[in-house]
Structure 1
Amino acid sequence: MAMTGRAVRSPAARRGFALAALLAGATALAVTVLVLLRDPVELVVAAVLVGVAVAAAWAALVRRGPRRVLSAAVAVLALAATVALPDLRAYLWFLVVVVLVALSGAATRAALGHPPSADGKRVGPARRGVLILNPRSGGGKAARFGLAERARALGVEPVELRPGDDLRALAEQAADGGADVLGMAGGDGSQALVADVARRHGLAFVCVPAGTRNHLALDLGLDREDVPAALAAFGDALERRIDLAELNGRVFVNNVSLGVYASVVQSPDYRDAKAATVARQLPGLLGPDAPRPDLRFGLPDGSRSESADVVLVSNGPYRLEHLSGFGTRERLDRGSLGVVTVTVNRAAEVPRLVSAEMAGRISRFPGYRSWSAPEFVVESGLPAVEAGVDGEAARLAPPLRFRILPGALRVRVPRDAPGASPAALLPPGTRAVVAALFRVLSGRTT
């Protein structure tokens, strides 16, 4: 029987929370209207502020880390700004709206937080678990959190990756030595390599987010801020199958970037200052005199593209915010690649592209295109194509052949893990959230 890492709410309970979320949000706006009917200008300003506060509160409840703090700050500031309006000195009204906004956000998460990607079966503790640690990943997270000692306390054998060691050889040695659960504490590139070994040996895999970005952990529904908590997956856990993707025989868990963004990834400054490196280098790479990348590929309509400035191929479709892959996937078992291409008018659109990238709204750029496919091939006349594979720089001989490996990996997560990626918990945009709440209310979702 399918289980989840947290209590599964009944359809009736979810409908109740959806109704509460919609009523609380609408009431907050209605109270604002009633108080401000005397001044239409203030009415518009206050209604906008309350709407921003509701949307930010919804976002704060499903995001984690700095983005949660930022969303919460926006909600508080938007509410606080209403107090500065001349006719809004009634603190009782202010407190009522604060409560309504908080209630709407909490009820929204309860109604929509039914993570489809958290389905899995209950499994018992690993008989012989092995955890490989990369002490250099994430600025030394493995040592900072004492992961080796914590693993030993759980009966899991820690294996430290030392300078000069071959990570795949260590993983193969652990598999050949009788491990039934294989884990990796490190970045996404290391996760992909060890996950591939686990796949080939039919072993279960544990992801411990000890890297810098930890996109795989995010989409598995793990709390990236609580690194040691992931070790609980070696004990009583939930296990499910997820997809892996492959590029010319090399497995990746997140995405591969080609074109000008791959050139940015090659920069030695990229790993420590991604946003700043992007903003500094993109204008030059997309300047009027810069050559277009030699990347040729088929389009969904059967035609062919002879060039694109950016090609991003992912292990499952992303809800993409940035070209660097700073988005999330609703599920990891879609059975298809996600393909994104971006083509830029060099004379006029470079500033707009940089602005969209920095603002996290890349999908709204006019030259943006996305689709899904089980396979994808990129050809080039170059002897080697620059690529960023799970954020790591590489140079690969074309043609580049991508394919999805559906359900290839057995992955374990703690039973009390958050359970889903942000994309699975909340639709994109306030309008989509409201529509999703109405679908829950009408019983059209399960």
Structure 2
Amino acid sequence: MSSMRACGEVVIVANPRSGGSKCARYHVVQRAEDTGAQVWMTSAEQDAASLARDAVRAGARVLGVAGGDGTVSAVAAVAAATDRSLLVVPAGTRNHFARDLGLDVRDPGLALGALADGEPVRVDLGAVGPRVFVNNVSFGMYADALLEPGYREDKPGAFAAVAPGYLKGEQWLEARVNTPWGTVESPQVVLVSNNPYDLAPPRRPGYRPSLTTGRLGGIVLKRPAQAPPDLLRHLRDQLRRHQHGPPPPGQGAVVWSASDITLHGDAEQLDAGIDGEAVRLPLPVECSIRPGALCVLLPKDRPGPPRPHGTPR
């Protein structure tokens, strides 16, 4: 791996705002430059995807990305399209993709160890139309929260602002989703993930045990006609209880996996969140999986899976 240390062969695209300026707090730029990598910062004039494309044209053999899932997704799309390896530096707030890669998210700079002893590992990418996602695509309540003013500064507050209408059944998604157990009309939440989540305790919410199943994860939540007082807890319990089998009639939660998931509807467009970034997508919305589409470069000294070829640690 020593040849990758040459200046210009590794370019890391960094979002200085991600994670509350986590790059600055952990001195990611200096630590990356000490390895011989270049760090290019996003700005109002140049987004992550355009910088990644510029880096490929300049001769970069490895693309790095320091930021949250939205920034990672943008650079991952370029890496996959140009057959470059991707180095993920977890400098976002939640770092879902980095966590499920088995990276140590307590210190973003530790991921730079991959430049010395990296293991190339193939993982899947989700796709919605021409766009890719590393974590998920959300519709309904979660997507609406992204549109709230100040979402980045106060995510719990944004969810609190939009949740009441959905929980009371006064708001819903103007779309329908086909599931293995029938079509769900006008749900409150649709979540399509790059590989299925493990929802059973004691796993943390949003954990994916594998990024190499070649399957999307689908979650649909619809408010039951007779909603219990604590609707959120009810839906959460139903998700965990029935994630590997058909849901009981009228319970309001459907969980399954598939190679493709499509949302249909009469509207022209749907608001959505792709890896936490608000977008508007034309209907029908077609989600699919791209098995092994992305090569990630991971340090050998990391807390967890995946190992090469998807072999568990």
Shared fold (TM-score, shorter chain, > 0.5)? yes
Contact 1:279 1:354 in 2 (8 A): no
Give the letter for the 1:377 counterpart.
T
CA shift in 2, pair 1:124/1:241, >3 Å? farther
Structure 1 unaligned blocks of 5 or more: 1-122, 422-444
- Residue number among 175, 180, 192 corresponding to 1:295 in the alignment: 175
Q: Which amino acid in structure 1 is aligned with residue 232 of structure 2?
A: V
Residue of structure 2 in register with 1:110 after alignment: none
Q: TM-score, normalised by structure 1?
A: 0.62
Which string of whole-angstrom CA distances, capped at 9 and with x for unpartnered residues, describes residues 93-118 of structure 1? xxxxxxxxxxxxxxxxxxxxxxxxxx
Counterpart position of 1:438: none
- Cα distance in 1 for residues equivalent to 2:272 and 2:237: 22
CA shift, 1:294, in A, is: 1.5
Could you tell me how far apart the structure 2 residues matched to 1:230 and 1:306 are? 43
Secondary structure, counterpart of 1:139 in structure 2 = helix
> Alpha carbon RMSD of aligned pairs, Å?
2.5
Q: How many residues were matched structurally? A: 295
Which range is displaced more, 124-133 or 360-369?
A: 360-369
Quick check: 1:231 aligned with 2:112? Answer: yes
Residue identity in the other structure for 1:296: R
1:368 corresponds in structure 2 to: 253
Structure 2 CA distance for partners of 1:261 and 1:162, relative to 1, 3 Å: closer
- Does 1:352 find its partner at 2:225? no
Contact persistence 2:239–2:255 (CA under 8 A): no
Q: Hey, which of these two has a bigger chunk of helix by percent?
A: 1
Structure 1 residue 321 displacement after superposition: 7.4
Output the CA distance in 2 between the equivalents of 1:305 and 1:266: 24
Q: Deviations over 1:284-343 (max 9, x none)?
A: 23325x143221122214x43333221110000011379xx9411011001010001111
The equivalent position to 1:339 in structure 2, one of 208, 214, 218, is 218
Matches within 5 A, 1:26-425: 126=4, 128-288=9-169, 290-301=170-181, 303-320=182-199, 326-345=205-224, 348-349=227-228, 351-355=229-233, 363-364=240-241, 366-420=251-305
Q: Would the aligned equivalents of 1:342 and 1:368 in 2 still touch at CA under 8 Å? A: yes
1:129–1:182 contact (8 Å) kept in structure 2:
yes
Following the alignment from structure 1 to structure 2, what is the Cα–Cα distance between the partners of residues 141 and 329? 24
Taking a change above 3 Å as real, the CA distance of residues 267 and 361 of structure 1, as seen in their structure-2 partners, is farther
Runs of 4+ in 1 over 6 A off after TM superposition: none
Cα deviation for residue 196 of structure 1 reads 0.8
Larger mean Cα displacement after TM superposition, 174-183 or 161-170: 161-170
SS of match in other structure, 1:341:
strand
Contact 2:239/2:254 (<8 A) preserved: no
- Structure 1 pair 311–321 and aligned structure 2 pair: CA distance change class (3 A): farther
Q: Which one has a larger percent strand, Structure 1 or Structure 2? A: 2
Identical pairs, percent: 40
Structure 2 counterpart of 1:134, one-letter code: N
- Structure 2, unaligned runs of 5 or more: 243-250, 307-311
Residues 356 and 364 in structure 1, CA contact (< 8 A), matched pair in contact too: no
Q: Is the 8 A contact 1:321 1:327 kept in 2?
A: no
Residue deviations 1:178-235, cap 9 Å, x none?
1111000011011011011011111100000111111011000111111110111122
Structure 1 contact 293–307 (Cα < 8 Å) conserved: yes
Structure 1 window deviating more from structure 2 (157-166 vs 191-200): it is 157-166
TM-score, normalising length: structure 2: 0.86
Q: Work out whether residues 241 and 407 of structure 1, in 8 Å CA contact, stay in contact via their aligned partners in 2.
A: yes
Tell me the secondary structure at the aligned position of residue 420 of structure 1: coil
Change (3 A) 1:140 1:291: closer
CA drift of 1:279 comes to 4.0
Contact 1:260 1:286 in 2 (8 A): no
The alpha carbon displacement at 1:356 in A equals 5.2
* Contact kept in structure 1, 2:49 and 2:74, CA below 8 Å: yes
- Once residues 131 and 51 of structure 2 are traced to their aligned partners in structure 1, the CA distance between those partners, rounded to angstroms, is 17
Shift of residue 125, structure 1, vs aligned partner: 5.7
Cα distance between partner residues in 2 of 1:360 and 1:298: 22
Query: What is the identity, as a one-letter code, of the residue corresponding to 2:199?
Result: L
Separation in structure 2 between the aligned mates of residue 204 and residue 139 of structure 1, nearest angstrom: 27
- SS of the aligned residue for 2:230 comes to helix
CA shift at 1:147, angstroms?
1.4
